[in-house]
C-alpha cells in the first residue's frame, strides 16, 4: 500500500474507536469504606522490567479514589470463561454511589499484603502498593503500583521443561480488543523472531 492510500483520521475525536488494539483485560480491586470494589480495566500494563504495574483510570471513578485513599490495589487476570463476571464488575453504582450491586455475591478472596480482594478463578493475582498517580492525560490518569505479592495458578505457570505453546493452548488468555470485543489467545501463537544477540 502506498502512503497516499492511507486514510487520515480526524483528531477532533479520540482515534481509539476507529480501529482495534489488543490489551489484557484485568479486574482491579480496591478497599472502599467498610467493603471493597472491583472494576474491569484494559488500559493496563507492566511498567518497566521490574515489579511495577499500572492501569489507566479517571479521578471521577471510585477505583482511582480508593487506590489513592488506601494506598493499594489488587489485580486479577481472569480467564476467558470469566468474561461475563468480569463484565458484571462494571455494573453502575447505586443511585447513592454507595456500592455496586452484586459485588458481594461474587466469589472473591482477600489479599494478604494489602487491603483488597481478588476475583476467584483467575489465573494470576498481584497485590500492589500505590507508587504514584500521573494525572493530566485529558480526563485520564495513570495509577502505578509496586507489586508486593504475586501468585499464579499452577496451570498457568511457565516451566522450562514444558512447551509454551501447549501451555497457552490448554489455558488460553483473555484479551480485550478495544473498544468493544474480546478474544481467547492461545490456540495458535508463535515465537517472536528476535534478532540474534537481542537483549531487552
If we measure between CA atoms, which residue out of 161, 162, 144 comes closest to residue 68? 144
**Tens-place pLDDT, residues 66-124:** 999 999 999 999 999 999 999 998 877 544 455 565 676 789 999 999 999 999 999 99
At residue 180, the 3 state secondary structure works out as coil
Cis before residue 179, ω within 30 degrees of 0? Answer: yes
- To the nearest whole percent, how much of the chain has pLDDT over 90? 80
**All domains of the chain in start order, with CATH:** 21-185 (2.30.110.10)
CA atoms of 118 and 70, how far apart (whole Å):
16
**Tens-place pLDDT, residues 17-67:** 999 999 999 999 999 988 899 999 999 999 999 999 999 999 999 999 999
**Tens-place pLDDT, residues 119-160:** 999 999 999 999 999 999 999 999 999 999 999 999 999 998
CA atoms of 15 and 25, how far apart (whole Å):
20
Contact indicator for 23, 43 with CB cutoff of 8 Å: yes
**Predicted pLDDT at 22:** 96
CA atoms of 76 and 91, how far apart (whole Å):
17
Amino acid at each position: 500500500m502506498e502512503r497516499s492510500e492511507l486514510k487520515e483520521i480526524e483528531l477532533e475525536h479520540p482515534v481509539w474507536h476507529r480501529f482495534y488494539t489488543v490489551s489484557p483485560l484485568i479486574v482491579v480491586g480496591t478497599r472502599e469504606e467498610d467493603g471493597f470494589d472491583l472494576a474491569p480495566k484494559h488500559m493496563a500494563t507492566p511498567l518497566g522490567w521490574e515489579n511495577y504495574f499500572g492501569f489507566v483510570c479517571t479521578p471521577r471513578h471510585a477505583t482511582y479514589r480508593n487506590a489513592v485513599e488506601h494506598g493499594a490495589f489488587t489485580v486479577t487476570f481472569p480467564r476467558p470463561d470469566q468474561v461475563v463476571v468480569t463484565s458484571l464488575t462494571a455494573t453502575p453504582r447505586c443511585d447513592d454511589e454507595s456500592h455496586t450491586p452484586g459485588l458481594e455475591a461474587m466469589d472473591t478472596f482477600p489479599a494478604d499484603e494489602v487491603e483488597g480482594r481478588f476475583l476467584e478463578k483467575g489465573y494470576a493475582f498481584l497485590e500492589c502498593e500505590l507508587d504514584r498517580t500521573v494525572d493530566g492525560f485529558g480526563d485520564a490518569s495513570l495509577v502505578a503500583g509496586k507489586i508486593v505479592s504475586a501468585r499464579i495458578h499452577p496451570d498457568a505457570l511457565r516451566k522450562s521443561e514444558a512447551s509454551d505453546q501447549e501451555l497457552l493452548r490448554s489455558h488460553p488468555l483473555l484479551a480485550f480488543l478495544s473498544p468493544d470485543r474480546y478474544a481467547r489467545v492461545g490456540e495458535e501463537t508463535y515465537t517472536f523472531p528476535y534478532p540474534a544477540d537481542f537483549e531487552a
